[in-house]
Amino acid sequence: MSPPVRAVIVDDEPLARERLRSLLAERPGYALVAECPDGEAAVAAIGRERPDLVFLDVEMPGLDGFGVLEALGDDAPPHVVFVTAYDRYAVRAFDVRALDYLLKPIQRPRFDEALARLEARRAAPGGAEEWAAIQDLLRELRERRGYPARLVVRSGAQVAFVPTGEVEWIEADGNYARVHARGRDYLLRETMKELEARLDPDRFVRIHRSAIVAVERIASVEPYFHGEYVVTLAGGRRLIASRTHAPRLRELLR
């Protein structure tokens, strides 16, 4: 006998969680291992339980469903069923990528269809294709949602949520980026190029191939050698702005 499919429910609405819980309880071969009322609890529970399936609410205050998946990265569950109130754009996006979703209020026939498709996918390998489709959706939604209000940083089982308004500067650390904020530093599993593309260019400026600074944290700028500048931050840190990146710095400070 095969082990049960381990499932997690993530939804900020108690009635929606209750509905999913009751529908899932009727299905043999499924075990509910965690139930989460918000995105931050979901990241912790999914990292801890390593479920096979997550019912993931799209619209939640704070960290929404897409933010949860971004925070999990490569540790995201193999199968996700999105849960959403009617949203024409979201539904179209899910349909285009053949991703499963449930509309609220959740109807039993649609729930049964989603689990039938899940069982078919589990019988035939294709998880990589499903995750690629989710990643494609995340990229598109990230562009629509604008710049992040906070960065999600993972360290083992720990997850930190760092408001971008508290970031002082960011430095390259191999293929990753080290974020300096709140008197601490956090290792972010993104390249400097990827991170620069995600941050608001009116609030952050790349001054060197290995440094991005928050514009509002710049205390002073002094000419250095050969078109370079010394940038002093409010906390006292002194960084070099390279000649390549100096024009953008001058433009922002003008």
Q: 223: part of which helix (H) or strand (E)? A: strand 218-223
Q: Compute φ and ψ for 218, nearest 5 degrees.
A: -75, 120
The amino acid at residue 118 is: L
The two tokens of residue 31 are: 């075990």
51-105 residue pLDDT tens? 999 999 988 887 888 888 888 877 778 889 999 886 666 677 787 777 888 988 8
Name the DSSP class of 4.
P
**Cross-strand partners of 81:** 55
The predicted model gives 156-169 an average pLDDT of 84
pLDDT at 72: 83
CATH placement of domain 150-253? 2.40.50.1020
The amino acid at residue 51 is: P
CATH 3.40.50.2300 corresponds to the domain 5-145: yes
Q: 230: part of which helix (H) or strand (E)? A: strand 229-233
Q: Share the mean pLDDT of the chain.
A: 87
Give me the percent of the chain exceeding a pLDDT of 90. 45
Instruction: Answer whether 5-145 and 150-253 agree in fold.
Output: no
| Cβ contact 140:152 at 8 Å | no
| Cβ contact 195:205 at 8 Å | no
Buried b (16+ CB within 10 A) or exposed e, 34-60: bbbbbbbbbbbbbbeeebbbbbbbbbb
Q: Could you tell me which residues come within 8 angstroms of residue 75 by beta carbon, excluding any fewer than 6 positions away?
A: 46, 47, 154
The amino acid at residue 237 is: R
- Tell whether the model's pLDDT for residue 126 goes beyond 60: no
Residue extents of the structural domains in the chain:
5-145, 150-253
pTM exceeds cut of 0.85: no
Indicate if the alpha-carbon torsion angle 215, 248, 169, 226 is positive or negative. negative
The predicted model gives 207-232 an average pLDDT of 92
Can you tell me which residue has the tokens 């308004």? 165
172-190 residue pLDDT tens? 999 899 999 988 999 988 8
| Cβ contact 205:174 at 8 Å | no
- Tell whether the model's pLDDT for residue 25 goes beyond 90: yes
Between 50 and 74, whose confidence is greater?
Answer: 50
pLDDT at 169: 96
Distance, in Å, from the CA atom of 235 to the CA atom of 158, rounded to the nearest integer, reads 27
Distance, in Å, from the CA atom of 96 to the CA atom of 43, rounded to the nearest integer, reads 26
pLDDT at 89: 61
- Tell whether the model's pLDDT for residue 26 goes beyond 90: yes
Q: Compute φ and ψ for 171, nearest 5 degrees.
A: -125, 150
Distance, in Å, from the CA atom of 7 to the CA atom of 28, rounded to the nearest integer, reads 12
Measured CA to CA in angstroms, residue 145 lies from 67, 135, 165 at distances of 11, 15, 17
What helix, strand, coil percent values describe the chain, rounded to 5?
40, 30, 30
The two tokens of residue 157 are: 């089982």
Distance, in Å, from the CA atom of 185 to the CA atom of 150, rounded to the nearest integer, reads 14
